[in-house]
């Protein structure tokens, strides 16, 4: 799917998401994807060896445990970057709305098998 | 300045900005900058030949006039991508809070002289 040529309402897109930990692509720029994901619970520890990962919290709260750093506590309106090669684990005690930015085809867990599962909404 | 290793509160950063049309860098990932900018009034028509530009409206409303497209009307929570090489002009009738994502050292107006003026907050 081509990048949309009209503005994308993030709240309208979130309304279309009914699962957790399954990022959906909403925009593309310079070979990067902007993805929206609803999260709840504890994700697995993983590492992206070749890319930094941007997290923006748009609703709820997200904790990101990060090797070698204090856990990052994100509330709505907070932005956080996990550097490449740094192991991390996102945790949301209640449902949170997250936007991530990363290169197209970056796997969800650092495992390439998960990249193909992602799709535009 | 290195990228911060703690979450960035966008509202706290906006509170530090007291001018218009002067993007401030708040995060870096994969050679890209996330910049916050307060806008009001009409900017000049310009083109970024080598990069797509991501606009996210975080407060107020922004109209982006774009060559060959209908004007894009962004409210808070809306995202829009201006493709590389496409002339555009942002307009805000009242103050609006915008986040942009683009490669580090991308000039504000497509004119390289404006890139050096940008700084971290």
Spatial separation of the C-alpha atoms in residues A120 and A77, rounded to whole Å: 23
Lowest mean pLDDT among A31-35, A95-99, B103-107, B110-114: B110-114
| Strand spans (E) along chain A | 8-9, 24-29, 32-42, 53-59, 61-66, 72-75, 78-82, 88-103, 119-120
Of B5, B8, B77, the CB nearest to A78: B8
Residue to test with chain B: of A1, A30, A56, A63, most B Cβ within 10 A? A30
Q: pLDDT tens, B65-85? A: 999 999 999 999 999 999 999
Neighbours of B53 (CB within 10 A): 23
Contact (CB, 8 A) for A115 and A107: yes
**B86: pLDDT strictly greater than 80:** yes
CA A61 to centroid of chain Cα atoms: 13
Cross-chain residue pair B77–A28, CB shorter than 8 Å: no
B5 or B87, higher pLDDT = B87
3-state secondary structure B36-80: EEEEEEECCCECCCCCCEEEEEEECEEEEEECCCCCEEEECCEEE
Structure tokens at B85: 């090489």
How many other β-carbons are positioned within 10 Å of the β-carbon of residue B114?
16
pLDDT of residue A114: 61
Name every chain A residue with its beta carbon within 8 A of the beta carbon of B29: 52-54, 81, 101
Mean pLDDT of B18-46: 97
Lowest mean pLDDT segment, chosen from A39-48, B53-62, B109-118: B109-118
Predicted-complex ipTM score: 0.91
pTM of the model: 0.92
What pLDDT sits at residue A24? 97
Residue B98, SS3 per DSSP: strand
* Better-predicted residue by pLDDT, B111 or B16: B16
- Residue length of chain A: 121
Tens digits of residue pLDDT in A75-94: 999 999 999 999 999 999 99
Identify all chain B residues contacting A70, using CB atoms and an 8 Å cutoff.
6
Residue A118: pLDDT band with limits 50, 70, 90: confident
| Whether pLDDT at B116 is above 70 | no
């Amino acid at each position: 799917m081509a990048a949309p040529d009209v503005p994308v309402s993030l709240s309208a897109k979130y309304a279309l998401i009914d699962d957790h930990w399954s990022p959906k692509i909403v925009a593309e720029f310079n070979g990067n994807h902007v993805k929206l994901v609803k999260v709840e619970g504890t994700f697995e520890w993983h590492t992206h060896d070749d890319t930094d990962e941007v997290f923006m919290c748009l609703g709820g709260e997200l904790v990101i445990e990060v090797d070698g750093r204090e856990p990052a506590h994100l509330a709505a309106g907070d932005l956080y970057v996990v550097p490449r090669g740094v192991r991390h684990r996102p945790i949301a005690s209640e449902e949170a709305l997250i936007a991530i930015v990363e290169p197209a085809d970056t796997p969800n867990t650092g495992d390439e098998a998960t990249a193909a599962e992602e799709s535009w909404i």
